Amino acid sequence: MSVPEIVIKTRQAASGQPGETAEVRQVTTTEDMHPDPSKSIKLPPNRQKLIDDVIALYSMEPTVERVSRYAPSCVYDDQFVYANNRYKMACQWFALPKLFAASRNEGYEIIHNSQNLIQFKNEQTWELLGVGSLKPITINALVSLSLDPATSDSDFPLITYHKDQANEKDYSHGGIGFILKKGQADIVPKLFLDKDSPVHFFKEDDLPEKPVVKHGSGTNAPTKDF
């Protein structure tokens, strides 16, 4: 299957569910988010390939096919970025090599696998570009991948909401911090990606923005122990 066929297929197969409606909310009481790969839940081949592609994206190996793992109306949400469609999210992955010298996956542990949700503990080491005096930064995070119900059992399941939490709190989607996160998703394509970047394959996914779901606090989500 060629890359254009993959993208066309994902657009046709997606349920159309807005990413905002698929957000998983959680405040974790787990102090140790260091992954133990030996305890990782074994996934079926279609889902393991999805995780392999996501880990490759974290490790600065973006391709059009890997970005096509996301539904057009997806949301990517971490401590630095809120990108609310596939084009903006794709810009983040393709811009990483412009911002970091290296990104290395130290290991992951699948801790939850259900019909429309995969969660894993992830450890990633980042080296900033052009800042040789600083030590690499290693981050342990809880990653939650909400899956499109129309494709969750297919050979090519799609992600509708990608949440990356580096501490116990959830995101409120309010305040100056959120304004900066959302603004970053708009600025990156303009500053770091040229006209020849593969990211422009997804330009037609630059969909009209949907209302952001605000939660009032990052501590009022359900408490979960991982």
Give the tens place of pLDDT for each residue, 126-183: 998 876 667 899 999 999 999 999 999 999 999 999 999 988 888 999 899 999 999 9
pLDDT band at residue 7, thresholds of 50, 70 and 90? low
* Rg (the chain; Cα; Å): 17
Cβ pair 110, 226 in contact under 8 A: no
Q: Inform me whether the pLDDT recorded for 187 exceeds 80.
A: yes
Question: Given this model, what pLDDT does residue 191 score?
Answer: 84
Q: How many CA atoms within 13 Å lie on the side-chain side of 161?
A: 19
At residue 69's C-alpha, the angle toward residues 65 and 75, to 5°, is: 130
What average pLDDT does range 21-30 have in this prediction?
Answer: 85
The pLDDT of residue 3: 59
Structural domain spans, the chain: 45-167
- C-beta of residue 3 within 8 angstroms of C-beta of residue 64: yes
Tokens of 100: 């970091």
Average pLDDT (1-5) is 58
For 183, the token pair is: 């603004």
State the Cα–Cα distance between residues 107 and 140, nearest whole angstrom.
10
Residues 17, 2: Cα–Cα separation, whole Å? 25
Q: Pairing state of beta strands 117-128 and 137-147?
A: antiparallel
Which residue is it, tokens 């009209």? 208
The rounded distance, in Å, linking the Cα atoms of 74 and 19 is 4
Residues forming beta bridges with residue 121, ordered by sequence position = 109, 142
Q: What is the mean pLDDT of residues 93-116?
A: 94
| 45-167 placed in CATH 3.10.450.50 | yes
Average pLDDT over residues 100-124: 96
pLDDT score at 20: 85
218 or 194: which leads in pLDDT: 194
Tokens linked to 149 = 């119900």
Quickly count: other Cβ atoms within 10 Å of residue 167's Cβ.
14
Q: For residues 102 and 126, is the Cβ–Cβ distance under 8 A?
A: yes
